């Protein structure tokens, strides 16, 4: 992957006291620092509106960020060395004069990373104020955290604003799913193994499933989530990005634009949905009281910040197609939900049935390749094999590759990997402006279609796998969700 060696970096995190900073950004930077992956000279500057002194910020680091570092990776010495490079500055993102305080903190010859871990409604203020304060240099990169808009118009507005100050080579639209080791392994699995290429297409592939299921509900994010919903929060970005990697043609190289050009072709090839398609091929759901892992869970409408008359979905399952020769008539099933039975992120490639069974009354399951992106980080190929004994009875078996047992080295967290790529100037795992707009152009008509249909989300018990209609959706194609096999 292209990139340059960097000797010095200044990382400025807007939203420096936020949940993302505490849970992901600072722990990831700590691990990179501990393992010697950061440049020799670096500084992290967290900024926000809190009027904190050094003691207040130290409390934030110790009480809010440190608990998200796994015990086996933590040491007092390493934490102290890392936090000595992290400072706090009070700054109102909307006030241009506040940016003058950043000038003396930034080294003129260092790579500058501005990470916008904040609401996208503030992006324009930050971008223009960085520019007016003279903080943009040829070595500057700007990282935009999702959600990147709420529809196509707002996504275009964000792209227009950031492009007025920064070149596309400086812009890093982050989707942390692309930083997951197993998502990247999809590229290696597909294009590094000749045995898969003849099979990775219609009619050998019968269907493709992409599932991201969470056991947690909306928690403290109720107000934000109710204005967003599962379609905007997960499918428009995470699941579509994974679909692109599954479905794209081989890029000429791992050059950022070579990979992203192929992803764009997939997004442009997604079958547009008519209102009739939306009514037939999508299922919306909302969780109601139930149990997750034996713990009682209240329903979505009982969560803090959720209006009683909310029609926001917490679950979506849908069927789509990629209109190319490789994937002609192959259904792609996307599914995501909150308060579900298991925490799972996986891709399932369902291969076609054998044309003729010679095993009498044996019940055959067709072969499937299961790539687990979250939970056990594994790849499993499900096959049929003969049972021991005199008869010729067959049953399912699997060949498994597990990251944890196959590699001894620590796997970088998604944000850790992506932050290092930003520092080194590697854009392959980041979303380009046209990708963002193409994803919204496909997703927005579905959201608008739901409004026209006027149907409320179907209830599903917390701790289940979603509404029964989601199973019926995939069963129409003679398929089943992976956990139902």
- Is 238 considered catalytic here? yes
Beta bridge partners of 337: 213, 315
**169 marked as part of a ligand binding site:** no
**CB-based contact 267:242 (threshold 8 Å):** no
Phi then psi for residue 401, to 5 deg, are -125, 120
**CB-based contact 473:317 (threshold 8 Å):** yes
Q: How far is CA 173 from CA 29, 159, 162, 431, in A?
A: 18, 10, 11, 5
**338 marked as part of a ligand binding site:** yes
Only one residue has tokens 């070595």, namely: 139
**146 marked as part of a ligand binding site:** yes
**233 marked as part of a ligand binding site:** yes
**CB-based contact 371:346 (threshold 8 Å):** yes
**131 marked as part of a ligand binding site:** no
Closest CA to 226 of 142, 123, 309, 318: 309
**271 marked as part of a ligand binding site:** no
Which of 73, 238, 366, 382 is an active site residue?
Answer: 238
**b vs e for 214-253, b when ≥16 Cβ sit within 10 Å of the residue's Cβ?**
bbebbeebbeebbebbbbbbbbbbbbbbbbbbbbbeebee
Phi then psi for residue 224, to 5 deg, are -65, -45
Q: How far is CA 88 from CA 12, 63, 115, 440, in A?
A: 10, 15, 14, 36
> Residues annotated as binding site?
49, 146, 176, 180, 214, 233, 338
Report, as residue numbers or ranges, the catalytic residues: 238
> Which residues are known binding-site members for substrate?
176, 180, 214, 233, 338
Question: Where is the binding site for NADP(+), in residues?
Answer: 49, 146
């Amino acid at each position: 992957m292209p990139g340059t060696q960097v000797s010095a970096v200044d990382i400025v995190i807007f939203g420096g006291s936020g949940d993302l900073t505490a849970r992901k950004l600072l722990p990831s930077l700590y691990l990179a620092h501990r393992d010697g992956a950061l440049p020799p000279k670096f500084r992290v500057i967290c900024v926000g509106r809190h009027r904190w002194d050094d003691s207040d910020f130290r409390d934030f680091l110790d009480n809010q960020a440190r608990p998200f570092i796994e015990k086996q990776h933590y040491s007092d010495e390493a934490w102290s060395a890392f936090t000595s490079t992290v400072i706090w500055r009070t700054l109102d993102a909307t006030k241009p004069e506040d940016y003058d305080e950043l000038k003396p903190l930034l080294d003129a010859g260092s790579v500058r990373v501005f990470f916008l871990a904040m609401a996208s409604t503030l992006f324009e203020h930050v971008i223009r104020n960085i520019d007016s304060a003279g903080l943009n240099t040829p070595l500057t990169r700007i990282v935009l955290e999702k959600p990147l808009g709420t529809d196509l118009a707002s996504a275009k507005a964000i792209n227009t604003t950031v492009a007025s100050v920064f070149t596309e080579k400086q812009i890093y639209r982050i989707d942390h799913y692309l930083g997951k080791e197993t998502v990247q392994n999809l590229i290696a699995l597909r294009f590094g193994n000749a045995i898969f290429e003849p099979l990775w297409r219609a009619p050998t592939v019968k269907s493709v499933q992409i599932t991201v299921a969470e056991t947690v509900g909306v928690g403290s994010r109720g107000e934000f989530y109710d204005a967003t919903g599962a379609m905007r929060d997960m499918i428009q970005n995470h699941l579509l990005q994974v679909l692109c990697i599954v479905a794209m043609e081989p890029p000429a190289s791992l050059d950022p634009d070579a990979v992203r050009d192929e992803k764009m072709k997939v997004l442009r090839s997604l079958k547009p949905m008519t209102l009739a398609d939306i009514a037939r091929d999508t299922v919306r759901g909302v969780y109601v009281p139930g149990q997750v892992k034996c713990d009682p869970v209240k329903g979505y409408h009982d969560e803090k910040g959720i209006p009683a008359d909310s029609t926001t979905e917490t679950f979506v399952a849908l069927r789509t197609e990629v209109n190319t020769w490789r994937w002609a008539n192959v259904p792609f099933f996307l599914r995501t939900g909150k308060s579900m039975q298991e925490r799972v992120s996986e891709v399932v490639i369902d291969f076609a049935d054998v044309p003729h069974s010679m095993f009498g009354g044996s019940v055959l399951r067709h072969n499937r390749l299961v790539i687990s992106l979250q939970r056990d980080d594994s790849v499993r190929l499900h096959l049929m094999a003969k049972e021991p004994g005199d008869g010729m009875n067959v049953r399912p078996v699997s060949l498994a590759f597990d990251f944890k047992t196959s590699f001894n080295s620590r796997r970088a967290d998604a944000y850790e990997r992506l932050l290092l790529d930003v520092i080194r100037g590697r854009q392959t795992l980041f979303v380009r402006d046209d990708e963002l707009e193409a994803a919204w152009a496909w997703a927005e008509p579905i959201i608008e279609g739901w409004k026209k249909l006027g149907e409320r989300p179907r209830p599903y018990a917390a701790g289940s796998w979603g509404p029964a209609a989601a199973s019926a959706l995939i069963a129409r194609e003679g398929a089943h969700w992976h956990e139902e096999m």
